[in-house]
Amino acid sequence: MADAGIDDFAQVAERYRPELRAYCYRMLGSVDECEDLVQDTYLRAWQAYAGFEGRSSVRLWLYKIATNTYLNVLRTRKRRPLPSGLGAPADGAAVALAPAQSDIPWLQPAPDSLLYGATDDPAVVVSVRSSVRLAFVAALQHLSPLQRAVLVLRDVLGWQAGEVAEMLETSAAAVNSALQRARARLAEAGPRLDELGEPTEPEVRGVLDRYMAAFENADVDALAELLRADVDLEMPPIPTWFTGREAVCAFLARVVLHTADQWRLAPTQANGAPALAMYRRAPDGSYQAHGLDVLSLVGGRISRIVAFNDAALVAKFGLPEAFAAPGS
């Protein structure tokens, strides 16, 4: 490897790009920032490749560059929360919504295509999916940057303590100490284990079809049948959030679901979970991108809805930004 030229850098390094994207996303909670970090990692690696002497694997070398770049970036960045990570739920459905907080760097959802790459290996998909759930990525945000990196490297990706120590240029004992603290903090912050489960494909398909029909028909009663009694509804960048089927349905009936045909929904996948691009009807009859709903399913019912009110997310998922008015 020592005499290899930089011309074959792409050939030996490019295969690791999808897993590095998923790694960086878990720790940053941002699609945009994870893409920037991966690009920076590859630029640094390309610049240093001529001096790479093969004392470690290319994969470990790339992870070392990505991890240290990430730690430098996080020195000047705030954590990315969901509304439930900032305070208690609203007292009831009738409360006034707090103003949208655009100054908070909210957690972003990630398209499955970005997290998995082009793989069609079911084992790879399942192993990645369980560790990129929104609930898990949100819980990681409660850890320090170092604890986050150590926990993901050790418990999610399965690196040995000595390998992680090499990446961080520290001792295996220091890595294990950081891991213990990270595990303890994660246990306090969540997530609920049932939110990391794997619903069956028929369950997902059935719930999505019924959710879309209920939303598009403004049928709150039909929607209520899909929700768990302890369902949560979060709506970043609005910090107000609701918990419990009664409060969630009352809020949706009061604020969101007024008339049939007000909404059009398109299914997609985010963070290894079912998601729906949301389009709202405009005065000219067209449907314009409004945001993205990511659903968590437990036992065939919806346990959490995270409604990202950010129209720009729809295009990031490869979906159209608008639909023409029916019949036009």
pLDDT for the residue numbered 199? 63
pLDDT for the residue numbered 113? 84
pLDDT for the residue numbered 123? 53
pLDDT for the residue numbered 5? 55
Which helix (H) or strand (E) element contains residue 243?
strand 238-243
Exposure letters 18-42 (e unless 16+ CB within 10 A, then b): bbbbbbbbbbbbbbebbeebbebbb
Q: Which residue has the tokens 């990645």?
A: 128
pLDDT tens digit sequence for 79-97: 899 999 999 999 989 999 9
pLDDT for the residue numbered 279? 98
Exposure letters 100-132 (e unless 16+ CB within 10 A, then b): eeeebbbbbbbbbebbbbeeeeeeeeeebbebb
What is each CA distance from 59 to 48, 55, 62, 195, 260, in whole angstroms? Answer: 14, 12, 5, 31, 52
Question: What is the pTM assigned to this prediction?
Answer: 0.89
Please report the DSSP string for 86-141 in residue order.
TSPPPSSTTSPPPPP-TTS------BHHHHHTT---HHHHHHHHTTS-HHHHHHHT
pLDDT for the residue numbered 155? 93
pLDDT for the residue numbered 280? 97
Rounded to an integer, what distance in angstroms lies between the CA atom of residue 123 and that of residue 59? 20
Cβ–Cβ < 8 Å for 302, 165: no
Collect the ranges in the chain with pLDDT lower than 50: 1-4
Q: Which residues contact 195 (CB under 8 A, 6 or more apart)?
A: 133, 135, 296, 298, 303, 304
First to last CA, the chain: 61
pLDDT for the residue numbered 183? 94
Q: Spell out the domains of the chain, with CATH numbers in brackets.
A: 1-76 (1.10.1740.10), 143-190 (1.10.10.10), 196-323 (3.10.450.50)
pLDDT tens digit sequence for 118-128: 555 555 556 66
pLDDT for the residue numbered 271? 92
pLDDT for the residue numbered 114? 83
